[in-house]
Chain A
Amino acid sequence: MTDTKAVRATRRFTLNALRSQEGVLLGLLVLIVVVLSLFSERFLTVNNLLNQTRLFTETALLALPMTLIIISGGIDLSVGSMLAWSAVMLGFSWQLLGLPLPLAVLICLLTGLIGGLVNGVLIAYVRVPALIATLATLAIYRGLSFGISQARSVRGFPEEFTFWGQGQIGPFPTQFLILVTLIIAVHILLSQTGFGRWVYAIGNNEVAARFSGIPVERVKLALYGFSGLMAGLAAFIFTSRVTTTRADAATGLELDVIAAVVLGGASIFGGSGSVIGTVLGLLIITLLRNGLLLAGVKGDATFMTIGLVLIVAVLINNVLRKK
């Protein structure tokens, strides 16, 4: 008797888990991996999968703060531009100002942080809507990148600098380990701490959040600052990977980032979303693109497929939530 009860409870639990956004995404991911591995025997190999982590680390680094920002009801369109600006500052301070490379990397991170804090001040204190504020800084930071670099690229970084973007620790690409650490940290921050609960509360109802004593402005400033800092980190890893800093780097990257976060189940109106969902969303987009290419599908068809998957995932999610 008690046995069947337990079984029933487990079944209900599994069913609920499957119906959750993450469950749907996980199912989708498994389906994609199985189907694509039938088309190319090179897809489901350790080598290929580890290699993919190199290519998506920068997007993933930006997707972490973007998840928090979207949960809080905001958006940051300027991440691609902040990445380019930070990268340009890295190259500029190293080659033209002749600063040592570690200092240049610090400047790169600081540039991102400053860019993010400016967004935060505009949004939290000047009260410009996030969409408009970051749309403006998207153009401004990109403009700064072109202005500072004079549209020239900086090259010739020393061999040891490539460790962060091209090297590996054991079998793992360096940046993959950095990314995993940050994913765990941000996941804990969002799901286990008071700060995480504040982020959800602001996204659900900002006015209520303010009345319940949450320092809304400071939380927002922190979120956008964090986004900028991650853009700086992504810029550093990106520069190390491609060994050149260009003002047109990461153009349009914000769309990839937002797509992953939204596919991961974060509501664009705020209040819901999770780091696990975002990571699954990222994996789906990356593996789909990689798998389709390996299977010999042309690039343009790949983009269409990704768009289709995005819509299907949102639809499934809506249907399941209504039940």
Chain B
Amino acid sequence: MSAPPQSTAREEQPMGAAQEALLTVDGVSKSFEGVHALIDVSFQIKAGHIKALIGPNGAGKTTLLNVINGLLLPDEGTVSLRGHELTRMKTEQIAMLGVSRTFQLVRLFTVNDATVLDNVLLGAHKRINPTILGTLFLRSRSGHKERVMREKAMEALSFVGMDWAADRVPTALSFGNQRLVELARSLMAEPELLLLDEPASGLNDAEVEQFLQLLMAVRARGVTILLVEHNMNLVMRLSDDIVVLDFGKRLAEGDPASICANPAVIEAYLGSECAIGGGSG
């Protein structure tokens, strides 16, 4: 695995606000066979913040997440994490730098009766990095590491309230519980930046509330979050600021209050002004 390119001072970063940006998306465009999914999208996420990415279906939100974690190569523009350019890196290399994600439709590992605990342990792959020779010949060392990781995985499961399901297979769990396991797996990677793709879809109100509390606790641990979400209650209560995409373009960006009152956003997406911080929006 090649080391991330060190920040060569070819272009001085502007001082001030940009200095604390964890992630910078700069002029990203992507089209699929002539359909423009993303057109010149730029924004930054500050370290420790929760940024929401909202917009109508087909606005390019998931495409943007896929570009950020290297599943798609943008046609133009760059993505960088703390000044390291991610744009041409492979997904697994980007993961090594501390970017983790969940998926719109939960994607847990299910083959060969893999358990919930196995799934969460796989989140820590980059710290385990098992090899054939290490497994066969350094048994005590890898065994010790595995015990430590199991404890951490159980902690991650307790954190999301799923420790009771450690030995079950994921398919035996409800969809909401599978989402929690997926979150625990992503946290096990100890990410700097967590990308969440519609974490509240398919959850009932109580589960959404639980998820919201969890994400606040995740932020309190210093994890930066980029959240793609349609549930405006969750978005308004959780996010520090919001980017709105519409037809692949950045329509607006700002704090929840300004987005709520923005006529263009109301026209394209929200339908009406929204209540901020209110109970069940």
A and B physically associate:
no
Contact surface of B with A, Cβ cutoff 8 Å: none
A residues near B, CB below 8 A? none
